Chains A and B, each alone.
Chain A
Amino acid sequence: MAALTVARRELAGYFATPVAYVFIVIFLMMAGALTFTLGGFFQRGQADLGPFFTFVPWLFLFLVPALTMRLWAEERRLGTIELLLTLPLPQWQAVVGKFLAAWAFCAIALLLTFPLVLTVNYLGNPDNGVIAAGYVGCLLVAGAYLAVGAAMSATTKNQVIAFVLAVAVCFLFAAAGSPVVTEFLSQRIPALAEVARGLSLTERFNSLTRGVIALRDVAFFATFIGFFLFVNAVVIDHRKAD
């Protein structure tokens, strides 16, 4: 399938530049530091990865757009978008291929946090099922942010604009369920408060970190990712030659 060929090229592209190494090192350092300091990994005396899973979505909020900003903006700037889209592959496969590459990259970064799992297993008897569910949640949140970021990247040839737009839109969905937003909305526009809570990525993620992989939540993430990939494909189709 052509999408996998595109994904392979993109993934190799991450590692051909310092982007991959900078991303992984910063991600691992920040995740570790936040877990052990602000998260109080040792002080709370619980054998779980709760603090880690609290911080990962917020790290992804800033780091994932850094991965996606180049996906289409760079192709536009170099003119290679004309090469890619005149090769005999359906456009949606190019969209999916790019997304898969970035998602695989996030999975690699998450896998490299395995020393945390070893540590917590060495120190106590954690529920590894809950930890696995937490990792699934992280991967789904990463996928959601990636889909948003890729769609934003498709709108511009400027990577900085792609980055800022992606952070802004991701933040919107991350914060939608927070008390500040829902209280503000329920006092003024109660109808929207429910919508905001329904669209919140954070709430879905939190139920996953409690170890509950509900079909409803997974379906939500799948729909969310599918929707933004669709937006991505539509934007590319309409503005590819601009």
Chain B
Amino acid sequence: MAALIEIERLTKRFGAFTAVDDVSFSVDRGEVVGFLGPNGAGKSTTMKMLAGFVTPSSGTARICGDDVVDRPVAAKRHLGYLPEGAPTYPEMTVTAFLGFVARIRGYRGSEAADRVAHAMGLTQLEGVRLQPIETLSKGFKRRVGLAQSLLHDPPVLVLDEPTDGLDPNQKHEVRELIRRMAPEKAIVISTHILEEVGAVCTRAIIIAGGKVLADSTPRALAPPGMSLEQVFRDLTMPKPEAA
């Protein structure tokens, strides 16, 4: 069977600037891929292309076999996507917002209500269900975005910085949640927190300047005696010129 996520020679150019340069990889069921790289490395652009928000300059990606360029709606049905910054409609209540997403995803009546309740349960949002999202703390807002991406129990999850802005306890909860879901799904998360990769990811991809520099298990990436942080710096820091 083909991998759930297949990325083929994906490239995005903005004018003369190449944000993502010929990136290819695939993700199988059961894998949690940590997508690492310095700011501006092309992580978010790659994820936006995978989610069908940014149109690739060349190359393509498939989600569960559906091409994100040729069959965007079908591809999006298989995908749960948390955009960078977890945007939500501030004036809506948590329930109304998740209900809207459920309706767009084709759920009606009690099934929609069940989906919303289940997603709120997974992300511990029941306590704030009737509050307008704009009144919530940053951690809750992020979890509303996460709940939205999990609502339809998608086989593929693409989460752009899912733990950004969460406190240590909430970070732990989200990691546990990802670990629990991991066996049935293909998951890609981007993060700046390198310890997170060791904690939840089965595979790490390091990207800089739009190119994939390393693609391996977190353990294999960091040889004995070296931390993942050192490896990351060695790979992505501009080399000082030898005198």
A interface residues with partner B (beta carbon < 8 Å) = 2, 5-6, 9, 12-13, 16-17, 78-80, 82-83, 85-90, 240-241
Contact = CB atoms under 8 A, between A and B. Distances in A.
Contact of A80 (B72, B73, B87, B104): B87
Nearest to A88: B76
17 contacts: A2-B104, A5-B100, A9-B92, A9-B100, A12-B92, A13-B92, A78-B89, A78-B90, A79-B83, A79-B85, A80-B89, A83-B145, A83-B148, A88-B77, A90-B72, A240-B53, A241-B48
B213 interface: no
Nearest to B74: A88
Contacts of A87: 76, 101, 104-105
Contacts of A79: 83-85, 87
Contacts of B194: none
| Most-contacted residue by chain A among B74, B88, B100 (CB, 10 A) | B100
Interface of B: 48, 51-54, 72-74, 76-77, 79, 81, 83-85, 87-92, 96, 100-101, 103-106, 145, 148
Task: Give the top 8 A-B pairs by smallest Cβ distance, nearest first.
Answer: A79-B87, A88-B76, A82-B83, A16-B91, A86-B51, A5-B103, A88-B77, A80-B87
A79 B88 CA distance: 8
Contacts of A16: 91-92
A222 B140 CA distance: 44
A35 B192 CA distance: 62
Contact of B88 (A12, A83, A89, A241): A83
A17 B91 contact: yes
A88 B103 CA distance: 11
A80 B144 CA distance: 13
A89 B104 contact: yes
Contacts of B90: 78
A113 to B, nearest CB: 27
A5 B108 CA distance: 11
Given A82-B83, A87-B76, A13 B91 contact: yes
A80 B104 CA distance: 15
Given A83-B83, A241-B53, 19 more contacts: A5-B103, A9-B89, A9-B92, A12-B92, A12-B96, A17-B91, A78-B89, A79-B87, A82-B53, A85-B53, A86-B52, A86-B79, A87-B76, A88-B74, A88-B105, A90-B73, A240-B53, A241-B48, A241-B54
Contact of A78 (B73, B76, B87, B101): B87
A6 B103 CA distance: 9
A88 B52 CA distance: 10
Given A5-B103, A82-B83, A89 B91 contact: no
A88 B151 CA distance: 13
Contacts of A9: 89, 92, 100
A88 B89 contact: no
A36 B183 CA distance: 71
Nearest to B51: A86
A80 B145 CA distance: 11
Contacts of B83: 79, 82-83, 86
Contacts of A90: 72-73
Contacts of A88: 73-74, 76-77, 104-106
B82 to A, nearest CB: 9
